[in-house]
Amino acid sequence: MLINTALRGFDNFDRAKSRLALTSGNLEKVSDGKAGELSPFAKAVKEVLSTNEHERMPFNLFSGEVILRFGDQYDQSPQFGNLVHCGHEGGALVFKRRKTNGERKVENIYQEIKDKFKNMYIPLSQEDEAAINELELLNQKKNKAVRNQQYEQAADLRDQEKQIFNAALNRTPNYISFILTSVIISEEEKKSTTQLDKDYIEFKEEEQRKAKLKEKGVEEVDPLLSSQAMLVAAGFSRFWSLRINPVEQLLKQEQDALFESLDNGIIELAIHYVKLIGNSQNPFLIEKLNSLMIILQEVYGTQLKLLFANNKLTRNDIMNLKQQELDIWNWILEVNEAESNKD
């Protein structure tokens, strides 16, 4: 989030007009350097640009780095600043580092994965993004080793690739857990789920009481059902709600909203569900959350496999992705405790 905010700040600088200047000196005579070579100033500019590792470098940082290249051996003092009375509106020139072929290739792979997974796509963790970039460098070294017939070195590099992939898979449960535990639950949502738990306990106690009476051969006739007029009485809704599992009722009511969330992305679905159950201690809701985490881990694992395999989608991969989509649909539709317990 901090990085994205910083980049938006750079974009704002880019949009505002700027009139800036960097000179090779002040009022003194400046050096042109040796014949056939760049001037000291030009050398400094070239060094700063060629060694820069910043994704984006504003003009003031660039100018400062150039000035630092000048020592006591030069009798000139480069200057930089805003040009006045010529349209400067507080903007800044921002240098953008050119991406390497490897970085562009990785970006293209990311986009292809997003296109294939669509709403099932899960954003990569920072660690896994770094691992993908590291893998691309290893892959280049491995291909070079093969071309040079250095097969033992190529085998070692392949083993390193496998280690990076396995490490990423091992991080997956913690990453998915981090996503879900980072969801902010409002006080209103907590209060709602606390009441849900109370209603559920009351519902189960009522079920148990009726079951004991049935075991004794006692059939309870509810007076509320003996008169049609009583059914529309003020207390009827409460009476009726006690005879419907409040957890199942909630999940049925939220099905459409959960499917809409899924259309926006599987992570949006997960966030919606986490906020829905709040701080509930209901065993069935917690079981559903655990089931959702397993599906998310499987989806993310499939993504990692494709990323580490340079996006080569096999028939099995396609079948796995389709199955994971089906699993999510079934997960949303599952609202009955009894059916879940049978599984």
Q: What string of H, E and C letters represents the secondary structure of 53-104?
A: CCCEEEHHHHHHHHHHCCCCCCCCCCEEEECCCCCCCCCCCEEECCCCHHHH
Angstrom CA distances, 73 to 6, 70, 110, stand at: 37, 8, 49
**Do both 177 and 306 map to the same domain?**
yes
Domain that holds residue 84: 2-96
Radius of gyration of the chain, Cα coordinates, nearest whole angstrom: 32
What tens digit of pLDDT does each residue of 100-129 get? 555 555 566 677 788 888 999 999 898 888
**Do both 165 and 47 map to the same domain?**
no
**Do both 104 and 92 map to the same domain?**
no
Angstrom CA distances, 23 to 29, 42, 46, 83, 195, stand at: 12, 11, 15, 12, 70
Final residue of a structural domain among 96, 126, 152 = 96
What tens digit of pLDDT does each residue of 282-301 get? 999 999 999 999 999 999 99
**Do both 138 and 46 map to the same domain?**
no
What tens digit of pLDDT does each residue of 154-193 get? 899 889 989 998 999 999 999 999 999 999 999 999 999 9
Q: What is the pTM of this model?
A: 0.64
**Do both 290 and 153 map to the same domain?**
yes
Q: Check residue 229 and give its pLDDT.
A: 46
Domain count along the chain: 2
Amino acid at 82: N
Q: Check residue 212 and give its pLDDT.
A: 85
17: domain CATH number? 3.30.70
- Are 134 and 50 a contacting pair, CB within 8 Å? no
**Do both 30 and 171 map to the same domain?**
no
pLDDT at residue 9 greater than cutoff 60: no
**Do both 110 and 13 map to the same domain?**
no
**Do both 87 and 210 map to the same domain?**
no
